Amino acid sequence: MNSETNSKQALIGLNQTKLERICSHLKEPSFRAEQLFTWLYKSHVNSFHEMRNFPNELRQRFGEQYCIHPLELIRVTGSTAEPTRKFLFGLQTGEKIESVLMKDGDRTTLCVSSQVGCAVDCKFCATASMGFQKNLSVGEIVDQFLQVSKESPSAITNIVFMGMGEPFLNYDRVIAAADLLNNENGIKFGAQRITISTVGIVPKIIRYAEEKHRYKLAVSLNGSSQESRLKTMPIAKKYPLPELMNAINSYTLNSRHPVTFEYVLIEGITDSVADAEKLIKLLSGRRCKVNVIPYNEIGGDYRRPTKEVIETFVAVLNNAPFPVTIRWSKGTDISAGCGQLAVLEKTA
């Protein structure tokens, strides 16, 4: 983006009420805001010149004072024929973030970021190496979907807030972004196809439950006990496992959706038969499902278990009273697998 674009306010991310304020400021009637909302979120325009029911003079005024997209697509890694592609975006303020598009059968899932970097510092996650830089705006979150959807050969069927950052540490903006994605007058993306993932920010899980949001909830458990969680997830010290499970109980009482637990298999830490048995004991009786994710190595101290160890672990879980799936993360060859997102290149 050039400096002129950087100085302009982006319209993506604004709801209809905020667009009405802009139209009022421009001394335009309120119906213009409804038209603008439609152009932005239903027609997915890239320029004001495409807004055909706007007078030329109004298009010019918008172009002088505002821009449409808060993100600039810098690079796409992977081809349209591959199951996974990674998208590098530049923010107007110069930082960079990544999104991942994954194709699996009839499902096309977009993994969006909610922060630049992350403050949670999970030891096995590449994003932690960036440190925390800033929260993304509503527009910077929603624009990931709008721009990737134009690049995707198939319609996006699912959105997961599981990219860079901890969504519940940017709670208000993440919820507002999900609401914009779901808005029936705009993008109209089904609430049941949006999943928000957290490492276990207990107060925000409780708030999420009390507010009764219709989006699905996923929790990165990554340990069958408080002790095992502490080995790789410092957040477990602030929010111990018993407190986390109580918060999840609150969620399942208030939601029609079961909670999804993400469980990363790390060699020698979370992959033993005893870990699998403890996991069954911990989660039995809960309305949940479990995604087992073999660890994606990022060059640090942690290792992916052997295939035999993974299969043994999953075999124990075959006796679990809850659904279990194994997620063989895609895109590891382009560092787009789970836990591999980290923009470490210098800003030009």
Q: What pLDDT digit, counting tens, does each position of 268-285 carry?
A: 999 999 999 999 999 999
In tens, the pLDDT along 38-80 reads 999 999 999 999 999 999 999 999 999 999 999 999 999 877 7
Q: Write down the catalytic residue from 98, 140, 166, 262.
A: 98
- Radius of gyration over alpha carbons of the chain, in Å? 21
Mean pLDDT score across all residues of the chain? 89
Domain with CATH 1.10.150.530 in the chain: 3-67
- What is the model's pTM? 0.90
3-state SS, residue 168: helix
> In terms of C-beta distances under 8 Å and separation of at least 24 residues, what long-range contacts does 16-24 make, across chains too?
16/185, 22/66
In tens, the pLDDT along 179-229 reads 999 999 999 999 999 999 999 999 999 999 999 999 999 999 999 999 999
**What is the rounded distance in angstroms from the CA atom of residue 243 to the CA atom of residue 112?**
27
Q: Write down the catalytic residue from 67, 118, 125, 338.
A: 338
**pLDDT of 302 above 90:** no
Q: Note the CATH architecture for domain 3-67.
A: Orthogonal Bundle (1.10)
Residue type for position 279 = L
**pLDDT of 348 above 70:** no
336 pLDDT band, cuts 50/70/90, is: very low
pLDDT at 301: 78
Domain with CATH 3.20.20.70 in the chain: 71-334
**What is the rounded distance in angstroms from the CA atom of residue 163 to the CA atom of residue 141?**
11
User: Could you tell me if 233 and 223 are in contact, meaning their C-beta atoms sit under 8 angstroms apart?
Assistant: yes
Which CATH homologous superfamily contains domain 71-334? Aldolase class I (3.20.20.70)
Q: How big, in percent rounded to 5, are the helix, strand and coil portions of the chain? A: 40, 20, 40
**What is the rounded distance in angstroms from the CA atom of residue 331 to the CA atom of residue 83?**
7
User: Could you tell me if 182 and 190 are in contact, meaning their C-beta atoms sit under 8 angstroms apart?
Assistant: yes
**pLDDT of 141 above 70:** yes
Q: Which of 139, 142, 122, 140 is nearest to 131 (CA)?
A: 122
The answer to whether 98 is a known catalytic residue is: yes
- Burial of residue 346 (number of CB atoms within 10 Å: 0-12, 13-18, 19+): exposed
pLDDT at 334: 40
* Element (DSSP H or E) covering residue 118: none
297 backbone dihedrals φ, ψ, rounded to 5°: -70, 140
**pLDDT of 236 above 50:** yes
Residue type for position 177 = A
Q: Which of 88, 51, 59, 49 is nearest to 71 (CA)?
A: 88
